Every structure is written in C-alpha cells, then in structure tokens.
Amino acid sequence: MSQLVNIPEATRKRLVQLTNLLKLHQENKITSKKISELTGWSETSIRHDLWLIGYNKGVSNGYETQNLLQKISEVLGIETSGDISNNSNAAGTDQISVKNSGKNLCIVGLGRLGAALLDENLTGGSSNFHIKAGFDTNIYRVEILRSIYSLYPASEMNFVIKRENIQYAILTVADKDAQTMADRLIKAGIIGIVNMTNVVLKVPDSIKVENISILNALKLVI
C-alpha cells in the first residue's frame, strides 16, 4: 500500500517521533545537529535514517522543515494534511498518488481509560484517524456513556467493524479478555492493534501490534 521502501523498525519509530518534532518546529530549516539536541539521538543516526528513506534534499545546509515533514509522512503513509496542505507543490517525486483515505479505528473496552480515549484528541494534530466506534461487553456501560462517538455492545463488533470499514483498534480491555478480543477483532478484519493491556498478544504475522501498557512501562523505568 504505502510502504514504498522497506524501512527498518528502529528507523520507523524514530521517524514517527520526528514528524511530531518537525510539526512543532518553528524555523524554516533544521539540521541533524539540532534534531540531535532536541531528542538525544545521534546526528549520524538521523542522517542515516533519512538516507534510508531516500531523502537527499539536505545538501550540506540543513533540511527544509516542511519539505522533510512531507517526505517522512509520505513514506510512513501518514497524512499531514492539516497545516500546510499545499498539495499543488509540484517538483516532488511523488509519482505514486497518496490516497487521502482517513484511517478508521475503534476502541475496545470502555473502562475509565477507554472512555477517556473517546474524547482524547487522537484525530487532532493533523493525522487523520477517525474514531468510528467504541465497544464494551457491558451493555450498561455502553448506554451510560455519553460521547459524540457511537458505542456498541461487543456482540455487534463484527458487524460494525465491517460496516464502518474499521481497520485499527485500540485495545483497553481487562487482561483476561485481551487475547479473546484480539482474536475477534482480527476475525472481523482489523489489521492493526494498539495494545494497552498488560498481556502479549499472539497474532498472525500480517497483523501489526504496538504494545503500550502503562504498567509495563512503569516496570521498565524502575
């Protein structure tokens, strides 16, 4: 789909974070040294990353902030649209028309955390994620919550995910239900899961999972 080049995982992680940095960066240009100062990454690493994605617009004088941001977003398959969507900038080598389809996602598990995410500004910033649904096994929970998003009992998961063309899920259920729910999500057609539970999910190779358990993170900073 988007993945023009095969980017190493470590580089992908840095690039995603770099997009956020570039968005906040006020100045026109930015050097690898400056990025290094702001992040703690080595200058070489940054240049190497950009080399890997075939960026060669720096030419000894630093990178043009917006141009770099554009390129990285392209390569990662995330849209930056938002602020400067002057798509009319020709010159670029983007022969492949990046389809501007927003990414639809759902939140599975509407406890305190999941419910908070419904209102979190996930679609903001300028990345186009659309929260299309929230699910919970507890039907009362679904009814009680007020939100601008549509909430459903978990029993309707399969149906709703297909109808709304949802491809990604944030999993915030109890640990004991995590694997079961992941299985159901995958069966319904989900291809990427942000796993906020504390368990390791076993999924097919084709499914991408990112683990961001708060408890695990705490144990790692000890």
Partner DNA sequence: AGGTGTGAACGAATTCACAGCC
Partner DNA sequence: GGCTGTGAATTCGTTCACACCT
How far, CA to CA in Å, does 145 sit from each of 92, 132, 168, 197? 46, 15, 22, 21
192 lies in the binding site for a copy of itself (CB under 8 A):
yes
Shortest spacing between CB 48 and DNA, in angstroms = 4
**Residues 46-85: x where in contact with a copy of itself by CB under 8 A, - otherwise, as a string:** ------------------------------xxx-------
Kindly state whether residue 86 participates in binding DNA, applying the rule CB under 7 A: no
Closest among 207, 173, 172, 171 to 187, alpha carbons compared: 207
For position 209 contacting a copy of itself by CB under 8 A, the verdict is yes
The CA distance from 132 to 150, in Å, is 7
Are 209 and 193 in contact by the 8 Å Cβ rule? The answer is: yes
44 binds DNA (CB under 7 A): yes
Told to check if 149 binds a copy of itself by CB under 8 A, we report no
Compute and round to an integer the Cα radius of gyration of the chain: 19
* Assigned token pair, 58: 């720096």
By a kind-dependent CB cut-off of 5 to 8 A, residue 217 interacts, out of a copy of itself, DNA, none, with a copy of itself
Stretch that binds DNA, among 46-54, 108-116, 120-128, 211-219 (CB under 7 A): 46-54
Integer Cα distance of 48 and 14 in angstroms: 11
Residue 161 three-state SS = helix
Handedness of CA 211, 105, 186, 7 (dihedral sign): negative
d(CA 147, CA 213): 25
Assess 33 for contact with DNA (CB under 7 A): yes
Smallest gap from residue 26 Cβ to a copy of itself (A): 12
Q: Which is nearer to DNA, 42 or 101 (CB)?
A: 42
Q: Which of residues 98, 122, 186, 188 is near a copy of itself by CB under 8 A?
A: 122
Residues interacting with DNA, by CB under 7 A?
8-11, 31-33, 41-45, 47-48, 50-51, 55-63
